[in-house]
């Protein structure tokens, strides 16, 4: 346990984002156990100075609302923030929707039908390279300035970014994603049980995980047979690809067809193209004029007080994980992306990054053994893991050969010549935000 009065420095990189910044600030400022155990300081970092100033104003307002003595400062230079950091939380991108539109729209122009190009499919290879080009330098700065700090990453593609950071640097990195909440919601609906009564084991890779176990938290009773019975009788709202994967392979997937469809060659037939629906939903919920944006603006500009609704910590795991580590709690957290140490997912490579429950203490985030995936699903995951390995190599070596190999492994890529042409097109369009590719 951290000695009383010790300091804890948390650096948020990409804090100016209205989707990442407020939720993470709220989680840290609501963590009373953390404030009681350590002198907490939070440093907001963003290269967009105007966005940074707005988020600083928001953080100061929430601090006053919470009545906590937390030091909050901001800088546009991460090297000023990192020295002495204990935790670094990242959510970074460059030209998010501009380049994502290219990732999405150019592969179909060469005949490859993919779903969205974010975390899987040929377009996601370029998203991966852009994200590694941002994240690996951050991790290397951490090696110099705060080598013992934890990196808690939200940057997508989550599995690929975490693999790159752990493979290419000595930084302890874990990936966080809120997708597991959808899986929990589906299981609790099917079993008609509140989530706090259940212990659910998921396993797989980010955005492509599966329910491998369910038990009663109090008695330990195995509830997986009851889940299968409920699924056999269910006429509810599972999306079609989710339902098909369960019926075919026998394990309930993360119930989001738009994500699942990125990883299988038959996904497009269930989902179709999905970039525009996502962008429209995002802009409606987070963009200018949205209710969320208006509430934040009113608080930041002093036109409205902070309320419990505005300052609520939300369901992201960044706050609980930091508390678990600082207090050495050995607490179970339900879904984290970590290396597959000890073959937590028994039939995936130990060097892969998997999405599983973990136990968090001062020494780290330790993956919980969840058993084996059905072999067909493990094979689909292993193909994605091979793609991830090649993309990390493509980034590290600036290798077009490794990038092309990764593209040729993509399930929807069915022509070698067009794959190379697509690669050259995207490399040319995005050269100034990609690593130097020889």
CA distance 121 to 232: 31
% helix, strand, coil for the chain, step of 5: 50, 15, 35
Radius of gyration of the chain (CA): 21
Q: What is the mean pLDDT of residues 343-352?
A: 98
CA distance 107 to 104: 7
Full domain range(s) for residue 24 = 6-176+275-319
What percentage of the chain reaches a pLDDT higher than 90?
88
pLDDT in tens, 359-370: 999 999 999 999
User: Is the pLDDT reported for residue 3 higher than 80?
Assistant: no
User: Is the pLDDT reported for residue 4 higher than 60?
Assistant: no
Closest by CA to 251, choosing from 217, 206, 204, 303, is 204
Residue 394 lies in a domain: no
Residue 387 lies in a domain: no
Give me the chain's average pLDDT, please: 94
| pLDDT score at 290 | 74
pTM, two decimal places: 0.95
Residue 223 lies in a domain: no
Q: What is the mean pLDDT of residues 176-182?
A: 94
Residue 334 lies in a domain: no
| pLDDT score at 211 | 98
CA distance 34 to 68: 11
Element (H, E) at 359: strand 353-361
CA distance 81 to 418: 45
User: Is the pLDDT reported for residue 1 higher than 50?
Assistant: no
pLDDT in tens, 353-412: 999 999 999 999 999 999 999 999 999 999 999 999 999 999 999 999 999 999 999 999
Residue 194 lies in a domain: no
CA distance 244 to 417: 32
226-240, 335-349, 389-403, range with the lowest pLDDT = 226-240
pLDDT in tens, 253-299: 999 999 999 999 999 999 999 876 666 666 666 667 677 778 888 88
Residue 434 lies in a domain: no
Residue 414 lies in a domain: no
Residue 417 lies in a domain: no
CA distance 332 to 396: 34
What percentage of the chain reaches a pLDDT higher than 70?
96
The two three-digit tokens of residue 118, written as one number: 């974010």
The β-bridge partners of 359 are 332, 366
CA distance 251 to 30: 36
Number of structural domains in the chain: 1
Q: What is the CATH number of the domain that holds 27?
A: 3.90.1820.10
């Amino acid at each position: 346990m951290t000695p009383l009065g010790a300091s804890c420095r948390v650096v948020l990189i990409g804090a100016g984002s209205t989707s990442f910044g407020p939720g993470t600030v709220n989680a840290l400022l609501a963590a009373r156990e953390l404030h009681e155990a350590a002198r907490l300081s939070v440093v907001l970092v963003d290269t967009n100075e105007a966005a940074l100033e707005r988020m600083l104003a928001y953080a100061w307002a929430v601090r006053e609302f919470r009545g906590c003595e937390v030091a909050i400062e901001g800088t546009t230079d991460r090297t000023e923030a990192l020295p002495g950091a204990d935790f670094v939380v990242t959510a970074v991108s460059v030209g998010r929707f501009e380049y994502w539109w290219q990732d999405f729209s150019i592969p179909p122009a060469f005949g490859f039908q993919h779903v969205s190009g974010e975390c899987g499919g040929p377009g996601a290879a370029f998203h991966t390279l852009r994200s590694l080009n941002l994240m690996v330098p951050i991790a290397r700065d951490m090696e110099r300035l705060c080598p013992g700090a934890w990196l808690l990453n939200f940057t997508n593609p989550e599995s690929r970014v975490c693999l790159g950071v752990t493979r290419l640097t000595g930084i302890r990195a874990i990936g966080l994603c809120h997708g597991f909440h959808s899986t929990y919601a589906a299981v609790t609906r099917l079993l008609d049980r509140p989530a706090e009564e259940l212990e659910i084991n998921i396993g797989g890779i980010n955005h492509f995980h599966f329910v491998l176990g369910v038990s009663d938290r109090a008695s330990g009773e195995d509830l997986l047979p009851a889940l299968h019975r409920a699924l056999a009788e269910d006429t509810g709202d599972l999306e079609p690809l989710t339902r098909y994967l369960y019926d075919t392979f026998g394990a309930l997937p993360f119930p989001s067809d738009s994500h699942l469809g990125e990883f299988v060659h038959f996904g497009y037939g269930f989902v179709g193209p999905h970039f525009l629906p996502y962008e429209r939903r995002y802009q409606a919920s987070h963009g200018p004029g949205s209710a969320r944006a208006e509430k934040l603006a009113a608080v930041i500009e002093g036109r409205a007080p902070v309320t419990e609704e505005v300052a609520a910590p939300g369901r992201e795991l960044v706050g609980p994980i930091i508390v678990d580590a600082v207090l050495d709690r050995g607490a179970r957290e339900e879904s984290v992306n970590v290396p597959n140490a000890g073959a937590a997912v028994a039939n995936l490579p130990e060097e892969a990054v998997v999405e599983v429950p973990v136990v968090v203490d001062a020494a780290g985030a330790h993956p919980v053994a969840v058993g084996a995936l059905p072999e067909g699903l493990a094979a689909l995951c292993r193909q994605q893991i091979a793609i991830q390995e090649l993309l990390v190599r493509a980034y590290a070596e600036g290798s077009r050969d490794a990038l092309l190999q990764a593209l040729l492994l993509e399930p929807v890529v069915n022509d070698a010549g067009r794959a190379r042409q697509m690669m050259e097109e995207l490399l040319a369009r995005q050269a100034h935000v990609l690593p130097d590719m020889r």
